[in-house]
Chains A and B, each alone.
Chain A
Amino acid sequence: MTGFTLEVRDVTKRYGDGPTAVSAVRGVSLAVQPGEVVLIMGPSGSGKTTLLSMMGALLSPTSGTISLDGTVISALGEGRLPEIRLRKFGFIFQDFNLLSALSVLENVAIVAELAGHKRGEAREKATQILTELGLQERLRFLPEKLSGGEKQRVAIARALVNDPALLLADEPTANLDSAIGHEIMRILRRVAKEKGRAVVIVSHDQRIRDIADRVLWLEDGEFAEAIELATDPVCGMSVERAKATTAERDGATLFFCSRGCRAEFLGQLPTDGIDPASA
Chain B
Amino acid sequence: MLLALRNLTHDRTRFALSVAGVSLAVMLILLLSGYRAGIYRQTAEYLDHAPGSVVVAQRGVRDFLAANSILPPGAAKAVADVPGVARVVPVVAQTAIVELNGRKELVYFIGYDPGIGGGPWSLTEGREPTAEGEVVFDRVMAAEHGIRLGDHVTVLGGSLTVVGLSDETALWIGSFVFADSSTIESLMRAPAAQSFLFVTPQPGVKPNELRGRIHVQGIDAMLKADVIVADQRLLARVYDAAIGLMTAIAFFVGVLVVGLTVYTATIERRREYGALKALGAGNRVLYRIVAIQALIAGVTGAALGTLLAYGLGRLFVAWRPQFPVTIEPTAILVALGVSVAMAVLAALVPARAIARLAPADVFR
Residues of A near any B CB (own CB < 8 A): 49, 52-53, 56, 58-59, 82-87, 89, 91, 93-95, 97-102, 106, 110-111, 114-115, 158, 162, 170
Contact = CB atoms under 8 A, between A and B. Distances in A.
Given A58-B359, A86-B281, 15 more contacts: A56-B278, A82-B282, A85-B359, A89-B280, A93-B362, A97-B274, A97-B362, A99-B272, A100-B272, A102-B2, A110-B3, A111-B280, A114-B281, A114-B285, A115-B280
A42 B2 CA distance: 41
Nearest to A58: B360
Main SS class of interface, B:
helix
Interface in B269-301: 269, 271-272, 274-282, 285
Interface string B1-16: 0110011011000000
Given A97-B362, A106-B2, A58 B285 contact: no
Contacts of B319: none
A83 B280 contact: yes
B275 A93 contact: yes
A37 B84 CA distance: 101
Report, nearest first, the 6 A-B pairs whose CB atoms are least far apart: A86-B280, A97-B275, A101-B6, A101-B10, A58-B360, A85-B280
Contacts of A91: 275, 278-279, 362
Contacts of A85: 278-280, 359
Interface of B: 2-3, 6-7, 9-10, 269, 271-272, 274-282, 285, 359-360, 362-364
Contacts of B7: 101
B363 A170 contact: yes
A91 B360 CA distance: 11
Contacts of B359: 58, 85
A158 B3 CA distance: 15
Contacts of B279: 85-86, 91, 111, 114, 158
Contacts of A115: 280
B10 A100 contact: yes
A58 B364 CA distance: 12
Given A82-B280, A85-B280, A102 B6 contact: yes
